[in-house]
Amino acid sequence: MEKYGDNVKVVFKNFPLSSHKQAFKAAKYSIAAGRQGKFKEMYMKIFENNTWRELRNNEDLPKIIAAEIGLDIDQLMIDMSDPSVDALIKAEAKQLQSLGNSYDTDKYAGVRLAVPKFFINGREPAGRDINAFSSMIDEELKK
Mean residue pLDDT across the chain:
84
**pTM for the whole structure:** 0.77
| Cα–Cα dist 136/143, whole Å | 11
68-96 pLDDT, tens digit per residue, is 999 999 999 999 999 999 999 999 888 87
Position 22 confidence tier, pLDDT thresholds 50, 70, 90: confident
| Cα–Cα dist 65/60, whole Å | 9
Domain boundaries, the chain: 14-98, 100-143
| Cα–Cα dist 121/138, whole Å | 12
What is the DSSP code string of 95-112?
HHHTT-S-S--STTTT--
90-137 pLDDT, tens digit per residue, is 998 888 777 655 444 555 455 566 667 788 887 778 777 888 889 989
| Residues 6 or more apart in contact with residue 99 via CB below 8 angstroms | 108, 111
User: Cis omega before residue 116 (within 30°)?
Assistant: yes
- pLDDT value of position 110: 53
Q: What is the DSSP letter of 113?
A: S
